[in-house]
Amino acid sequence: MRRIMVEKKHAEDRIEAAQANDRGARADTAAAGVADADDPKEPLVPVETATVPQEEYDRLKAERDLLFDRLARLQAEFDNSRKREAKDRAEFRDFAVSNAVEQFLPVLDNFQLALKSTGSAEQLRTGVELIVKQMEEALRSLNVQPVETVGATFDPRVHEALDMVERNDLPDHQVFEEVRRGYRIRDRLLRPALVRVASNPQQKEA
């Protein structure tokens, strides 16, 4: 599109230059006529005008009009392509969201059934535990995995320390409690795990 605009500009410049030459030649002719009229002693000599041939003028004008037309069509194609791309992105996003939501609809159904349950507290707890396992399975189907916490060495890239607790029975900087589970999707961290970390002063002194 930039090349077409440059070509159009060149064509317009050539037309303007031709028109300027034509105007200049006519002005010279008029000036010569005035000078001849003022000085009767000077013989009247015909002056040749450097006019642009009509054929060349028409050719340049047609070239400019063609470039205008090509530029307009390319602009329309670009706008249509941009609209198609935006529509494709929206459709892909809706497809991805619908695929994820579909995995969690059975989990929501079981939560609603649990709310209507009239069983004992122990039965309700057992039902909630089953729902949690069902949700974890839905997350695994979407390649979402929990971040390793208890027993692992504290890693600031995937862990967020709630506090450091002095513990002589644990290795220094070992995670001993998970407050909030963290998740990653493949190698991308969705959110860090909120943990409590052991601080062993004996190991630090050693």
- Local mean pLDDT, 10-residue blocks, the chain (206 residues): 60 66 56 49 51 81 89 92 92 89 92 88 91 93 94 96 94 96 94 96 72
pLDDT of residue 22: 59
The string of DSSP letters for 138-187 reads: HHHHTTEEEPP-TTSBP-TTTEEEEEEEE-TTS-TTBEEEEEE--EEETT
Closest alpha carbon to 171 in 196, 205, 202, 195: 202
Give the type of residue at 200: N
Residue count (the chain): 206
In this structure, are strands 159-166 and 193-199 parallel, antiparallel, or unpaired? parallel
pLDDT of residue 100: 87
Q: Find all residues with CB under 8 Å of 60, minimum gap 6, and list them.
A: 11, 14, 15, 18
* Two structure tokens written together for 33: 């006529």
Q: How far apart are CA 176 and CA 165, in angstroms?
A: 9
pLDDT of residue 27: 54
pLDDT of residue 57: 84
* Residue 95: strand pairing partners: none
35 burial via Cβ count (<10 Å: 0-12, 13-18, 19+):
exposed
pLDDT of residue 51: 66
Whole-number Cα distances in Å, 114 to 105, 121, 134: 14, 11, 14
pLDDT of residue 130: 94
CATH class of 145-205: mainly beta
What single DSSP character describes residue 119?
S
